[in-house]
Amino acid sequence: MARWWAVAAAASSGAFADTDVGATGVGDQLSSKALTKESYDGFAEGYDNLDGGWAASAIGLEELRSQLLAGATGRVLEVGVGTGLNLRHYRRDLVSGIEAVDLSPGMLSQASSRSESLGMERLVKLSVMDAEHLGFPSEAFDTVVDTFSLCVFSDPSAALREMARVCKPAGRVLLLENSKSDFGPLAAYQDLTASFLVNKGGAKGCFWNQDVEALCRGAGLEVVRSSPALAGGLFRTLECAPAKGS
Q: Is the dihedral of CA 35, 103, 132, 171 positive or negative?
A: negative
Give the bridge partners for 74, in sequence order.
Answer: 95
12 CB-near residues (< 8 Å, 6+ apart): none
Least distance in Å: CB of 100 to ligand SAM?
9
Phi, psi values for residue 48, rounded to 5°: -70, -20
Q: What does the binding site for ligand SAM look like in residue numbers (CB under 6 A)? A: 1, 33, 36, 40, 51, 79-82, 85, 102-104, 107, 130-132, 147-149, 152-153, 204
Least distance in Å: CB of 59 to ligand SAM?
14
Least distance in Å: CB of 85 to ligand SAM?
4
Q: Closer to ligand SAM by CB, 131 or 234: give it.
A: 131
Least distance in Å: CB of 46 to ligand SAM?
13
Q: Closer to ligand SAM by CB, 153 or 242: give it.
A: 153
Least distance in Å: CB of 72 to ligand SAM?
13
Closest CA to 222 of 204, 201, 203, 244: 244
Residue nearest to ligand SAM (CB): 82
Q: Closer to ligand SAM by CB, 79 or 198: give it.
A: 79
Q: Closer to ligand SAM by CB, 104 or 181: give it.
A: 104
Q: Closer to ligand SAM by CB, 45 or 169: give it.
A: 45
Angle at 195 between CA 53 and CA 35, to 5 degrees: 70
Least distance in Å: CB of 175 to ligand SAM?
10
Amino acid at 61: L
Q: Closer to ligand SAM by CB, 61 or 221: give it.
A: 61
